[in-house]
Amino acid sequence: MRRSAAVFAFVALATSARIVRAAEPEPQDLFREATEALAAERLGDAVAKLEALGDRGVVDAVVSFDRGIAYASRARTSAAQPGDLGRAVHGFEEARELSRDGDLDDDAKRALGSIRTEIARRRARAGESAELAIGASLGRALVELASENTWAALAAVASLVLSIAILARARASLGRAKVAANTTIGIAGAALVAFALLASGARDVRLHVREAVVVSPGTRLLDARKIVVGGRDPLAEGARVTLVEEEGGFSHIRAGTLDGWVSQTAVLPLAKRR
């Protein structure tokens, strides 16, 4: 009798789970509903549905872009919540990371400029530094001047020029031609090494470097003991940082000379195109 009751309870539970799963909208339906809510300026609904897509593991540039729009729009209404601007920055930054569409990338870049101007204005009113950018290291800055594919293409061109110069040097009979070939070999060889290193660095950033955006206003940098570092303004909402590790509810972040810990809820990792 007890066994029959247990079997009945298990069957009822499984049936209930199937009903719940069946009631959940498909991702495409959820996105359509989010788009409709955004168009109707039901911003709370739009945010909730777009976040639900993220919770389901949907990684898409358009979804991230629309999420940025939803947060940015809500930040300018009476229903604004702390962190809306930072999360808007996150959405647009993620859209740029994921997008292969130049127009979408340009739209996201313009939106980021507008939002960061607003963040700087709010920080200035609060008596904090209006400077939002956190300088990257020289090497990282050089790597990010162009994409991985661009550096690889330049390395290929340098390799081709080097090969032609070596061949020309072998066939040259005039001293002047040999000098020109040797000069070209030196320049092309150096360029090949430099572009190859930059391509490798860009690949390493794409595959191994985790980045995040500060989404909580008033976030204070902590030292290794998780004590607030004195003499510093709060981190800028919307600042982009490197995520080193996560431990015990805290995130270790770096950006340029900045190195410390923050609450794990204060930063939101960026999805990347693989």
For the stretch 196-253, pLDDT in tens is 999 998 888 777 789 999 999 989 999 999 999 988 888 889 999 999 999 999 999 9
For the stretch 125-164, pLDDT in tens is 988 876 665 655 666 678 878 888 899 999 999 999 999 9
Which of 128, 142, 188 lies closest to 161, judged by CA? 188
CB atoms within 10 A of CB 220: 18
Using the CB atoms, write b or e for 179-214: b if 16+ within 10 Å: eebeebbeebbebbeebbebbebbeebeeeeebbbb
For the stretch 161-175, pLDDT in tens is 999 999 998 888 778
The pTM assigned to this predicted structure is 0.75
For the stretch 6-49, pLDDT in tens is 434 434 434 444 444 445 789 999 999 999 999 999 999 999 99
Contacts of 172 (CB under 8 A, 6+ apart): 178, 181
DSSP code of 24? S
